[in-house]
Structure 1
């Protein structure tokens, strides 16, 4: 059993990211927590539905309506709602919490795409819909234990991985140079930062966090390539003279953070 399996991913911008896979232990604990919460939700729903059904049947009886098929319809509707609650629980939280459910958040693991980007509704829904199949006869457990990337069926179908949460995601861990801070102030006037997507920002942040661990030549090549792509994205005519690619990326990071702090009030 591999408890500390690691995987390297290449982003569309050719940046190598390394993650530690969550492991069967963390995933099982997270699922147990989620199932306890989900179980309480389902018990509450069935209790409310039972009271509603008894009230409806009593009303139909007093009103002399024919309700022979009503119990079957009520049961079918309850089962359908239960299914939506089951799948919706996982899909809802993994979308709004960027790959985490309450159980995953407590165990500090997260679902990401195969290229390291955050998952979206399509990936979360696919994982949730295939979860019953993964749970059947513990099929998902066997896939996780035997697969090199520790994927269950839902992960294979959705193109996702479950990894340990990265703790280097905080702004305080990044060093922003003074020239970059000054450029960040001017960037909103020079470029259209509204075109910068959260995925683009995540790639910039990942590079700035990991650049110190890269070889010099690899770091220079990546920073130059990434700076050129971002310049096109934000419609910047040219990078200001005497500005290094790293300073430009730092400035983009800082400017985006400032926009986020203002709630993107400048967006049209």
Structure 2
């Protein structure tokens, strides 16, 4: 019996992907962490604004000016900065981290499109705009509780889902060379391994499990194509070794991903 709901998404390529929905507990904890960080940022803005206001007011009064108009401008600027931090925090992080904020990354959940693809800036913006509405009278909480897909109002409008970040737990069937094990540690410090989505990792694992049945030519071609795609996804400009075989790189990505997330995500 599963404690979490699962959802199956059929991609435009007619591939079925299964995701585990994040659950109200994980989402609430992630939101608490994010709101604490937002509060810290807003506190810094308030302290800085008060300091600037005091300094500029003293200058205006020293020259015989009226500080009332200045204070109104400072209040307006502080208000805009507050709105920008509140909305920009969620939009910025979810766009740059592909559906994750610091809170979501800590609780191992992420936002995706209804079609299984990564969340974009448009979807992140819509979710951020509806967040205050969802927070009023706990409307978002009740929508998540009573929705089969656990969506709040922002998710319905943006066409998004909040799911657990999933991966394979064991690697007994995947053979990895010692060189790839060593390389994996280097990649964890150089590449953005967390950029890989569950279906990206599933594709990598499927290749490593089935490569033995491929012809030599097909295996070489497919490994190079997959390695190039993954290198772009993890934002790795250059390989640690110039003449590295494609399969060694794929094995290293597999090991690095498992080391970073393997004990915290569930397999397909």
TM-score of the two chains, using structure 1 as the length reference: 0.69
Contact 2:49-2:78 within 8 A present in 1 as well: yes
1:114 matched to 2:114? The reply is yes
The residue number in structure 2 matching 1:166 is 166
Deviations 1:139-187 (A, max 9, x none): 11111111111011111111111111112399x79969xxxxxxxxxxx
The residue number in structure 1 matching 2:82 is 82
Q: How many pairs does the alignment contain?
A: 218
Alignment of 1:32-111 (within 5 A): 32-111=32-111
Cα offset, 1:48, TM superposition = 0.8
The residue number in structure 1 matching 2:5 is 5
Contact 2:166-2:198 within 8 A present in 1 as well: no
Where 2:18 maps in the other structure, the secondary structure is strand
Contact 2:167-2:198 within 8 A present in 1 as well: no
Q: Describe the shift of the 1:108–1:202 C-alpha distance in structure 2 as closer, same or farther (beyond 3 A).
A: closer
Q: Describe the shift of the 1:95–1:168 C-alpha distance in structure 2 as closer, same or farther (beyond 3 A).
A: farther
Alignment of 1:121-200 (within 5 A): 121-168=121-168
The residue number in structure 2 matching 1:254 is 227
Alignment of 1:227-242 (within 5 A): none
Gaps of 5+ in 2: 176-194, 209-214, 240-268
Gaps of 5+ in 1: 177-198, 213-240
Cα offset, 1:256, TM superposition = 2.7
Q: Distance in 1 between matches of 2:94 and 2:133?
A: 19
Q: Describe the shift of the 1:15–1:142 C-alpha distance in structure 2 as closer, same or farther (beyond 3 A).
A: same
Q: Describe the shift of the 1:114–1:249 C-alpha distance in structure 2 as closer, same or farther (beyond 3 A).
A: farther
Q: Distance in 1 between matches of 2:30 and 2:96?
A: 17
1:263 matched to 2:240? The reply is no
Deviations 1:224-243 (A, max 9, x none): xxxxxxxxxxxxxxxxx986
Contact 1:174-1:209 within 8 A present in 2 as well: no
Q: Distance in 2 between matches of 1:169 and 1:99?
A: 22
The residue number in structure 2 matching 1:15 is 15
Q: Which moved more, 1:21-30 or 1:73-82?
A: 73-82
Deviations 1:181-217 (A, max 9, x none): xxxxxxxxxxxxxxxxxx9x986654454699xxxxx
Contact 1:204-1:249 within 8 A present in 2 as well: no
Contact 2:17-2:199 within 8 A present in 1 as well: no
The residue number in structure 2 matching 1:215 is none
